[in-house]
Structure 1
Amino acid sequence: MPSEFNRIHYEEVTSTNDVCKEEHKKSSIITVITADKQTRGRGRNNKAWASPKGNISFSFGYTCSGLIDGLSVKAGLTVAKTISKSLGRPVKLKWPNDLIFQSKKIGGILVEAENVKEKFILVIGIGINFSIVPEETHWGDLDIDDYKLKEKFISELIKNLLKDIVDDPSPDWHREWNEFCVHLNQEVELENNETYIFKGVNNLGRMIGEKSSQTYVISESSLKVKGLY
């Protein structure tokens, strides 16, 4: 039987992840928070994420017995597939958790966890630019300004997160992630300025890099990729 969930929508919040975490503590079922606008949205490494009205600010919270390796990478695949299928935009993925459309970043994933009574509340935060103002065009967007389409997408995204993350996770999800990767078999530069050929991800969401005929597994970094934003 599919998991139950409770969705709460706000016109404005500080952070959907923060609200999702607190609301989920009051409930035993999956919590989904959406908002028209965030005033203190954030991305990885606590970087600010602009969340003006018109885009999607979305958080999906649930309780789990332990932390899940590669959850943000896996969730990114679900988001990219949902956008591509329900909105007709061929979105790609940049490791570890960026959503790419027409060579620009249009969104990202932020997973946060809190240990509560020997279990973990896991919150998957998703921000997507549907339509941005001209002064923000160094980022990309999906060029969609249609409320019904957004609601259709949100409904599909919830359904797919329930299936892919909670109810029926596939052990081979990483193979499909590699098909969506925008920089597969390309040279990438890590935060420490070392370069590798990106060969994909493993089933824990970790990067597989190749250098001087040697293979390396890299668990955490950000990438620079020539030609992307």
Structure 2
Amino acid sequence: MRKSVIQELLSVESTELLSEIQIFDEIDSTNVEAIRQIRSGNSSNCLILAKAQSAGRGRRGRNWASPPEAGIYMSMVRQFTLPPNALQALSLVTALSVKSALEKMKVQGLKLKWPNDILFEKKKLAGILLELQQQEERCHVVFGIGLNIALPQEVGKSIGRPVTDIVSITGLKPDLNMTVAAIVNELCINLTKFEQSGFSSFTDSWNESDCYFHSDVVIQNGERSTIGKSLGVDSNGALLLQTATGKQLINGGEVFPSLRELPT
């Protein structure tokens, strides 16, 4: 990856938003580095990239496999004046942005899993970890994105769940600079749209892309499991679940396919 090439490929909106691009050969975690910089007084919007991570992080405390040249590991920092409780749907907006960017690069057949996984044939291609840092009246959001490009076979087998990468889907390794710029450009457009109109303008797009839409699922949240039929997301990004006792709004947890049918 080259900073000058990425900068040339960024849209006007992205260029105006981002004050700097940082690229590391290896780092513990781009999200951790972003948070370190925010806490040390760096309040700018920036993009942090790494060619490898020694301690990549995923949702729910999981590790994110980040070997050299095998993926894109990036964190974009953006300030918001909206209160934190108004930003809960940003993970879904980010997933939609990554999916859209990849589709424009001819990576087809992608689906989403609530709240923020990008899948191909129900194998995980990309994941997202958002972290908020509140400073006075401004909220910094760190948009962590991990995208598998060409995972070594032994790494894929060690992850313990179905995963895939761009090379396995398309047979070609994409230009990393173009891929980073495409994701950033799409994300910047959608974040502006989100600030102006909230998540309601994304609801239909999400439900059309949701691989478990109208399917029986299990929501695992800590020790609690809830079984129901996914009815898609509402205008705030919460998952609407039809359970045996009625409809429930789900705001957290992980989705799994249900192995048993609901009573009708």
TM-score normalised to the size of structure 2?
0.78
Q: CA deviation at 1:145?
A: 5.9
> Does 1:141 find its partner at 2:165?
yes
Query: Any conservation in 2 of the 1:74–1:174 contact (CA below 8 Å)?
Result: no
Unaligned stretches of 5+ residues in structure 1: none
Equivalent residue number for residue 96 of structure 1:
115
Equivalent residue number for residue 168 of structure 1:
193
Equivalent residue number for residue 28 of structure 2:
14
Q: CA deviation at 1:127?
A: 0.5
Counterpart of 2:225 in 1: which secondary structure?
Answer: coil
Equivalent residue number for residue 211 of structure 2:
182
Equivalent residue number for residue 60 of structure 1:
76
Query: Any conservation in 1 of the 2:111–2:119 contact (CA below 8 Å)?
Result: yes
Query: Any conservation in 2 of the 1:130–1:145 contact (CA below 8 Å)?
Result: no
Rounded to whole Å, the distance in 2 between the matches of 1:50 and 1:217 is 32
TM-score normalised to the size of structure 1?
0.90
User: What do residues 6-29 of structure 1 show as CA deviations (whole Å, max 9, x unaligned)?
Assistant: 211111111101222334565554
Q: CA deviation at 1:197?
A: 0.5
Which of 72, 76, 96 is the equivalent residue of 2:95? Answer: 76
Equivalent residue number for residue 203 of structure 1:
235
Equivalent residue number for residue 49 of structure 2:
34
Counterpart of 2:204 in 1: which secondary structure?
Answer: helix
Counterpart of 1:13 in 2: which secondary structure?
Answer: coil
Letter in 2 for 1:194: T
Equivalent residue number for residue 86 of structure 1:
105
Rounded to whole Å, the distance in 1 between the matches of 2:93 and 2:184 is 14
Q: CA deviation at 1:213?
A: 7.5
Equivalent residue number for residue 185 of structure 2:
159
How many residue pairs are counted as aligned between the two chains? 225
User: What do residues 72-106 of structure 1 show as CA deviations (whole Å, max 9, x unaligned)?
Assistant: 11211111111112242322101111110122011
Counterpart of 1:217 in 2: which secondary structure?
Answer: strand
Q: Which of the two has greater helix per residue?
A: 2
User: What do residues 181-219 of structure 1 show as CA deviations (whole Å, max 9, x unaligned)?
Assistant: 111100101112321101111122110111237321111
Which of 108, 116, 138 is the equivalent residue of 2:135? Answer: 116
Alpha-carbon distance change, 90 to 29 in structure 1, aligned in 2, over 3 angstroms:
farther
Letter in 2 for 1:64: F
Greater shift, 35-44 or 24-33, is seen at: 24-33
Query: Any conservation in 1 of the 2:227–2:258 contact (CA below 8 Å)?
Result: no
Alpha-carbon distance change, 220 to 39 in structure 1, aligned in 2, over 3 angstroms:
same
RMSD: 2.1
Alpha-carbon distance change, 29 to 145 in structure 1, aligned in 2, over 3 angstroms:
farther
Rounded to whole Å, the distance in 2 between the matches of 1:37 and 1:103 is 25
Which of 17, 26, 32 is the equivalent residue of 1:4? Answer: 17
Alpha-carbon distance change, 58 to 211 in structure 1, aligned in 2, over 3 angstroms:
same
Query: Any conservation in 2 of the 1:83–1:90 contact (CA below 8 Å)?
Result: no
Alpha-carbon distance change, 69 to 114 in structure 1, aligned in 2, over 3 angstroms:
same
Greater shift, 200-209 or 23-32, is seen at: 23-32
Counterpart of 1:193 in 2: which secondary structure?
Answer: strand
Equivalent residue number for residue 8 of structure 2:
none
Counterpart of 2:47 in 1: which secondary structure?
Answer: strand
Letter in 1 for 2:27: V
Letter in 2 for 1:57: Y
Letter in 2 for 1:107: A
